[in-house]
Chain A
Amino acid sequence: MLELKSVHKKFGGLQAVGDVSFSVPAGSIKAVIGPNGAGKTTLFNLIAGNLNLSSGKVIFQGREIQGLKPHQVAALGMARTFQNIKLFHGMTALESVMVGRHVRSRAGFIAGMFHSPATWKEEKEIRDKSMQLLELLGIAEFADTEATSLAFGQQRAVEMARALATEPKLLLLDEPAAGLNIYETAEVGRLITRIRDMGITVLLVEHDMSLVMDISDEIVVLSFGQKIAEDVPLSIQQNPEVIKIYLGEDEEEAVV
């Protein structure tokens, strides 16, 4: 599904991501973990086209996608959520998800201005599909509420529904459980496995170790932009190097 080949990113003198290679097999859940500032979000930005690579290759479904714009990457079937939620101010939850249908619908300026019967049909389809997604995520009752005024967990759900609306083949989730309580986190875990069962490959960044160990098929560990381990959860938990990194930190110490 996705393959990174020796990906590098420098910000001025800072090597934010250095020589990272791994692949994400289709139909799997892969997690990227690492201490704060390890370069996880930067890695996502590189994959999704928000940042340009300094060197290396990103191959998505057999196609090199480095250098493409984010919207082109999205059209190819990759969707993402953001660590710091980015919702559309002034749009309802339903509308926000409807925008997510953008790449799966066609009406342009002319069609939009003249509202032809073909666009009615498309509009109805967009609305129905979006509503279904809100139901899937359990926030259908907030369809007509302004998305930015929802509770934090619901905002994350809207963001995820919006990403799913693009009918992605690969979904990038940047800390989907951040700021959620343990029940909500467990719920997110079940949701992610469900998404995987729908045939969508998932790559996620997450600090909550119990969630990561629970649901991922494989884990990549980053530290200071370098990949230091890649393995199944059980082995990662026993990997001395990984333990060393996390013991160096105070927060995650208890978790591992």
Chain B
Amino acid sequence: MNMKIKESKLLKIGLLVILVICTQLLTKITDTQFYLTQLTMSAYYALLVIGLTVVMGYAGQISLGHAGFFAIGGYLSAALTTHNLIALQAHPLVKGLGSVGMLVSGQDLYGEQLLVFAPWAACILAVLTAAGIAFVLGIPVLKLKGHYLAMATLGFGIIIFRIGLASEYFGEADGISEVPGLTLLPALGPLGSLSVSGDFGLRVENYYVAWGLLCVGLWLLLNLIDSRVGRALRAIHGSEEAAEAIGVDTARFKLNVFVLSAVYAAIAGVFLTHYNGGIGPSEASVMKSVRYVALVAVGGMANIWGTLIMGVGLTFLSLRGVFGSYDDAVFGSILILVMLFAPDGILSLNVKALFISKRTTDGH
């Protein structure tokens, strides 16, 4: 039986990979490659959403601050790779960073000397910082429940938003732009280098990077929820007291899964920022956090595949501008409607309706 679950999981992921490849080929054939841009971005947002699913759906802890972790990743990576350290080059710390290869120097458009963090180093620092903040924040915050937890995480999100909006280092209302690409593989012989950037010529490669990352992230989480840890998390959701009584260190598991989801969010933030070449304060806004919660809810809370499908689908539509100026209103309505009529997600509705109608026909 365990093997069956395993096989069906791999099968589903295999189908997803095929779907991803077919989609790309389809856009090529129909000459609609411009869709790839939004599909790439949707994949990154979906990465955050599936991470949040494990916290909210499985462990049962609401977070209204995940845009904050996304922003910490994106903003830090952007700031580190764009702020010139040339004036500080004599500083021992800067020298030390340079000597371990974490800095790169170059020239800007006007021929000025530039000394900035190498994108890979900035990326790692950004993700580690997000993880560290999640850890420190999580220790007190995850002791809270219900409304208190919701407000505390919301408060955290607003603080991150305000810091981005008010500090010069993070570009205030304009955000940070001209962020360099994140090189994943250096150029090898005839093959060009592979980097996460908005470079037009790398559109297809970036599509595969994003979806590859999402598939790996998805596989890891699916494994996790199917394991001893996943059961413990669901037990915490079910009854914290009973979980404790059979030896689950509830505080530690909640904290770990919170940090894990923050890492997912930060990675999404870093990659998307390098892909877009910039980040602005709206990425840290409360509305973004609420939107992620909406996607988890509409996907069915404790249903990673559901949130993946909804996360990609709705984000794609939103990015294509389908909802126009009703974008936020759409997500607000989704929240209300799903919670009123389908608290197990809208994917569950169909199945249930089928089931019920089948049963009633059986009965007659």
Contact = CB atoms under 8 A, between A and B. Distances in A.
B247 A74 contact: yes
Interface string B221-255: 10110111111101101110111111111100000
A236 B207 CA distance: 77
B234 A166 contact: no
B268 interface: no
Nearest to B256: A109
A215 interface: no
Q: Bin chain B's interface residue count.
A: 20 to 34
Contacts of A106: 228
A237 interface: no
Given A86-B241, A86-B242, A124 B231 contact: no
Interface residues of A, number: 45
Contacts of B229: 107-109, 112
Contact of B227 (A69, A80, A119): A119
Contacts of B220: 113-114
B238 A163 contact: no
Interface string B249-283: 11000001100100000000000000000000000
Interface stretch (A27-35, A88-96, A191-199, A246-254): A88-96
B228 A162 contact: no
Contact of B242 (A69, A88, A107, A115): A88
B2 interface: yes
A90 B237 contact: yes
B264 to A, nearest CB: 12
Given A91-B238, A108-B229, A99 B244 contact: no
B2 A124 contact: yes
Contacts of A95: 231, 234
B71 interface: no
B214 interface: no
Interface string B1-41: 11000100000000000000000000000000000000000
A190 interface: no
A224 interface: no
B48 interface: no
* Chain A interface main SS type: helix
Which of A69, A107, A115, A127 neighbours the largest number of chain B CB atoms within 10 Å of its CB?
A115
A168 to B, nearest CB: 9
Contacts of B55: none
B158 interface: no
B310 interface: no
Contacts of A109: 224, 229, 256-257, 260
A127 B2 contact: yes
Residue among B224, B241, B244, B245 with max Cβ neighbours from chain A (10 Å): B245
A88 B246 contact: no
Contacts of A213: none
Nearest to A100: B246
Interface in A101-130: 101-103, 105-109, 111-115, 119-120, 122-124, 126-127
24 contacts: A70-B241, A71-B244, A71-B247, A75-B247, A80-B245, A82-B242, A87-B238, A89-B239, A95-B234, A99-B231, A99-B248, A102-B231, A102-B246, A107-B228, A108-B229, A111-B227, A112-B223, A112-B227, A112-B229, A113-B220, A113-B221, A113-B224, A115-B226, A120-B2
Top 10 A-B pairs, shortest CB-CB distance: A88-B238, A112-B227, A103-B247, A74-B247, A86-B242, A70-B244, A113-B220, A112-B229, A86-B239, A99-B235
Given A114-B220, A127-B2, 5 more contacts: A74-B245, A88-B239, A111-B227, A112-B226, A166-B246
